[in-house]
Amino acid sequence: MNFMSTFLTFENLHEVRRLCHWGPIIALSVIAICSTMAILDSVIWYWPLDTTGGNINFIMLINWTILILYNYFNAMFIGPGCIPLGWKPLHTNYDKFLNLAQENQQDMQYLQYCRVCQGYKAPRSHHCRKCNRCVMKMDHHCPWINNCCGHLNHAYFTSFLLLAPLGCSHAAIIFIMTMYTQLYERISFGWSTVKIDMSPVHQFQPIMPFSVPAFAATLFALGLALGTTISVGMLFVIQMKVILRNKTSIESWIEEKAKDRIQHYQTGEEFIFPYDLGTRWMNFKQVFTWSGMPKGDGKEWPVHPKCHQHTLTIEQLKQKVDKRVRSVQYQAVEDYNGACCPLSKGLQTFFRTPCTEEPRIPLSKGDIILATRGTKWWMYGDKVLSEAQMRVGERVRGWFPRRCVEKCHYDTAATESTSEKKVN
């Protein structure tokens, strides 16, 4: 009874709802299928009670499953950590202790304000539309864990990306060896055909029968294991590249845009990424620790000697102004219901829909949109809202078909804030 009471009052019990999403359902199904089939095939191929090798093989297989699930659920349920609602920067010197917690007005001018969270975005944090919160050191929102990858769970997520390919590679070897050993005596080669006899072999009786359904299930599991090894292994390589530079995927994109902005306006600036500590080992230790929890509180970070806490946030503010200057104003000439693949807008629009989880925005004739990027058939931008909608923090942005809009003859977005093209 005490155990049930403890379980029911567990503060993160509501997080179990994250399992009710297509991402975790597919991921856990793949893990369950590969693990179950690997265990069953191990019994057929390398009976663990007969030899030391079989025993080690079986224990390693169980350990892979436990470690994969441990890191997967930690990445999902611990989460990245969120900036408190209504957060404001405080003084970090002794004034904080002498005069209680005072707002640091100087730092506020270097930070972006989040209207949804009604607070400032700490350095390296970003607002996630899926989670509807500002996330500490946000890397990306991962549908496979139905959560963001960020400050607190970056190590767990990356460990999962490493362990999943290793475990699937082990499982793939078991699948291949099981099929080979079971079919070796049942294959007869002719001059023009290869005949596979799946009837039981008289001279060898396995611990468990290896029938046609078992062969089909093993072949299916082999495909899942190989596909997971390749796809997840590539994600692990990508994650390690950004971790060894002490970046996130978003910050890599910000750095690229900084170089593009400096080159476009010929400002002569030198942008130094502030969080690269100089060596890969130092960067690695910022994420991976013996305790499993990363260093830092998610709001202040060690920085490069030539930089300070707000080097990146100042660059983000510059890019925000630049984005406003470069945006092009369009007006909707056709209604669009926000469908992901609208067949009524043409076959090219239907088949060339952006392969992204970013939202689509419905349009009505007369709507004004500030487009910032696009493809031949789709565009991405912000819908111009009323003053009342903007005051409550509402923002509507996403993809829409290019054929539904036309460029305004007088583009107010291009002429607005022209004096802010170069922000010092």
Instruction: Write the pLDDT tens digit of every residue in 401-419.
Output: 999 999 987 654 444 444 4
Query: Active site residue: 34, 82, 114, 142, which one?
Result: 142
User: What is the number of residues in the chain?
Assistant: 424
pLDDT of residue 167: 96
Query: Which pLDDT band, with edges at 50, 70 and 90, does 183 fall under?
Result: confident
Q: Are 144 and 151 in contact (CB under 8 A)?
A: no
Q: Is the pLDDT of residue 95 over 60?
A: no
- What distance in Å separates the CA atoms of residue 118 and residue 422, rounded to the nearest whole number? 28
Q: Is the pLDDT of residue 276 over 70?
A: yes
Query: Which pLDDT band, with edges at 50, 70 and 90, does 102 fall under?
Result: low
Instruction: Give percent above pLDDT 70 in the chain.
Output: 83
pLDDT of residue 203: 42
- What distance in Å separates the CA atoms of residue 381 and residue 177, rounded to the nearest whole number? 53
Q: Is the pLDDT of residue 236 over 60?
A: yes
Query: Which pLDDT band, with edges at 50, 70 and 90, does 115 fall under?
Result: confident
pLDDT of residue 386: 83
Query: Which pLDDT band, with edges at 50, 70 and 90, does 12 fall under?
Result: low
Q: Is the pLDDT of residue 394 over 80?
A: no
Closest CA to 112 of 393, 385, 416: 393
Mean pLDDT, all residues of the chain? 84
pLDDT of residue 7: 39
pLDDT of residue 205: 45
Active site residue 142: yes
Q: Per mean pLDDT, which range of 137-146, 204-213, 256-265, 306-315 is the poorest?
A: 204-213
Q: Is the pLDDT of residue 145 over 80?
A: yes
Three-state SS across the chain?
A: CHHHHHHHCCCCHHHHHHHCCHHHHHHHHHHHHHHHHHHHHHHHHCCCCCCHHHHHHHHHHHHHHHHHHHHHHHHHHCCCCECCCCCCCECCCCHHHHCCCCECHHHHCCCCEECCCCEECCCCCEEECCCCEEECCCCEEECCCCEEECCCCHHHHHHHHHHHHHHHHHHHHHHHHHHHHHHHHHEEECCCCEEECCCCCCCCCCCCCCCHHHHHHHHHHHHHHHHHHHHHHHHHHHHHHHHCCCCCHHHHHHHHHHHHHHHHHCCCCCCCCCCCCCCHHHHHHCCCCCCCCCCCCCCCCCCCCCCCCCHHHHHHHHHHHHHHHHCEEEEECCCECCCCCCHHHCHHHHHCCCCCCCCECCECCCCEEEEEEECCCEEEEEECCCHHHHHCCCCCEEEEEHHHEEECCCCHHHHCCHHHCCCC
pLDDT of residue 121: 94
Beta pairing partners, 197:
none
Q: Are 53 and 251 in contact (CB under 8 A)?
A: no
Here the tokens at position 59 are: 């224990």
Q: Is the pLDDT of residue 211 over 60?
A: yes
- Looking at per-residue confidence, does 97 or 406 come out higher? 406
Here the tokens at position 398 are: 């996403």
| CATH code, residues 327-420 | 2.30.30.40
Mean pLDDT of 120-131: 93
Instruction: Give percent above pLDDT 90 in the chain.
Output: 55
Q: Are 350 and 305 in contact (CB under 8 A)?
A: no
- Looking at per-residue confidence, does 420 or 407 come out higher? 407
pLDDT of residue 13: 61
pLDDT of residue 69: 97
pLDDT of residue 186: 59
Mean pLDDT of 268-282: 92
Q: Is the pLDDT of residue 343 over 50?
A: yes
> How buried is 270 (Cβ within 10 angstroms: 0-12 exposed, 13-18 middle, 19+ buried)?
exposed
pLDDT of residue 112: 92
- What distance in Å separates the CA atoms of residue 152 and residue 329, rounded to the nearest whole number? 40
Instruction: Write the pLDDT tens digit of every residue in 131-144.
Output: 999 999 999 999 99
Here the tokens at position 347 are: 């076959």
pLDDT of residue 373: 87
Q: Is the pLDDT of residue 6 over 90?
A: no
- Looking at per-residue confidence, does 340 or 413 come out higher? 340
Residue that the structure tokens 């696009």 belong to: 374
